[in-house]
Structure 1
Amino acid sequence: MTEAKQKLGVLCSGRGTDLQSIIDAIGREEVDAEIAVVLTDKPEAFALQRAERAGIKAVCVNRKQYEDREPFEEALIEELEDAGVTLVVLAGFMRILTPVFVRHFAGRIMNIHPALLPSFPGAHAHRDVLAYGVKVSGCTVHFVDEGTDSGPIILQAAVPVLDGDTEETLGARVLEQEHIIYPQAIQLYCEGRLQVDGRHVRILD
């Protein structure tokens, strides 16, 4: 008897390009999972259209309709649980999740960050990278803990920072790598090959 596929719940706030990379990887059978639901916090998020085009359930849980974070996150949790989600995938979700949400899905939330963590956490990674003058940047897939971009690192990819780079040009090169390593990290999870030991994530053979 084959094991049930992991059911992904993908949270987005904007264009959904990382979502699209996961949809495409599943279509190529490179990720053995199904996307059970896509959630956005903004009704104008293009990620909703990407999901609908792919025949995936898409729901907007509009943050502006909730007075504070607790009922907003309760609504997110309810949608994820109703869809039977086993792995929460943050894909450009621009909200800091509270410990309540993180504990509910402890060890089952991934995020991708457009810098080489632990350097340059937060919402303005490309700007901060360029301001600091580093020569190499990249992206990081990590498990989410109760801090900001501080969870155990799963995969990273590096890109050079070029003279004359802008946030847009650097961001485009980093995004190409995001679209490669995020599906890879999800597949490793699906295969049961990620072992978390404190801060270390070991990839099992």
Structure 2
Amino acid sequence: MTKLAVFASGTGSNYDAIIHAIQQGELEAEVALLVCDQPEAKVIEKAKANGTETFVFEPKQYPNKQAFETEIVEQLKQREAEWIILAGYMRLVGATLLNAFEGRMINIHPSLLPSFPGLDAIGQAFEAGVKVSGVTIHYVDAGMDTGKIIAQDVVKIHKDMSKADLQAAIQRVEHQLYPATIQKLITGGE
């Protein structure tokens, strides 16, 4: 069974989708560890409720990014994690993690990259008045949302949609596309 480490900073809706896919037999993996940089994040309670081990840290308690990423790598090694799955992890990954998991770290982003990278991609798309947005899954590199694209799916934006409607539509796509893409990657079917 492939061991995943999910990194999240917020509510954990994609963590939920991954756990659900595992429980349904659609994703042949286990979540060996949840890594979270926000001690008050809702995803931590979700992980505990599902029996997922957690590593919660506060970056400001470390001298630098290398220091906390070195500790994360050690936590991942202890649990034999094979893939890092970023699921709303709101920080740029540094060289320490990138080097340890090169080619085995992916991210999900709520836009059709390369359009609308970075924070509030849904808001960016909504304000730009585009007719389509969507979801991108990509490998993580040193840039912000610049890694090689693995999968994308489109969400049409209707004229009567609110930003909240668009976010809900994008999350529905995310929750299907992410587990399915992870399954393809871990079984060699990229």
- Give the TM-score category using the shorter length: over 0.9
Is residue 157 of structure 2 the alignment partner of residue 168 of structure 1? no
TM-score by length of 1: 0.89
Q: Any idea what SS the aligned residue of 2:151 has? A: strand
1:21 alignment partner, one of 13, 17, 29: 17
2:70 alignment partner, one of 71, 74, 78: 74
* Identity score, percent: 38
Counterpart residue type for residue 45 of structure 1? A
Match of 2:186 in 1: 190
Q: CA deviation at 1:100?
A: 2.8
Q: Any idea what SS the aligned residue of 1:48 has? A: helix
Listed as ranges, the gaps of 5+ residues in structure 1 are: 195-205
Q: Any idea what SS the aligned residue of 2:89 has? A: coil
CA distance in 1 between counterparts of 2:60 and 2:42 reads 18
1:61–1:75 Cα contact (<8 Å) kept: no
How do residues 1-80 of structure 1 correspond to structure 2 at under 5 angstroms? 5-80=1-76
Instruction: Could you list the structure 1 runs, at least 4 aligned residues long, displaced by more than 4 angstroms after superposition.
Output: none
CA distance in 2 between counterparts of 1:35 and 1:126 reads 27
CA RMSD after TM alignment: 1.1
Match of 1:202 in 2: none
Is residue 146 of structure 2 the alignment partner of residue 146 of structure 1? no
CA distance in 1 between counterparts of 2:20 and 2:119 reads 26
Is residue 183 of structure 2 the alignment partner of residue 181 of structure 1? no
Q: Any idea what SS the aligned residue of 1:96 has? A: coil
How many residue pairs were aligned? 190
Q: CA deviation at 1:164?
A: 4.1
How do residues 72-151 of structure 1 correspond to structure 2 at under 5 angstroms? 72-151=68-147
1:41–1:60 Cα contact (<8 Å) kept: yes
2:70–2:96 Cα contact (<8 Å) kept: no
CA distance in 2 between counterparts of 1:63 and 1:163 reads 41
Match of 1:198 in 2: none
Q: Any idea what SS the aligned residue of 2:138 has? A: strand
The more displaced of 159-168 and 14-23 is: 159-168
TM-score by length of 2: 0.96
Q: Any idea what SS the aligned residue of 1:81 has? A: helix
Counterpart residue type for residue 177 of structure 1? V
Q: CA deviation at 1:20?
A: 0.4
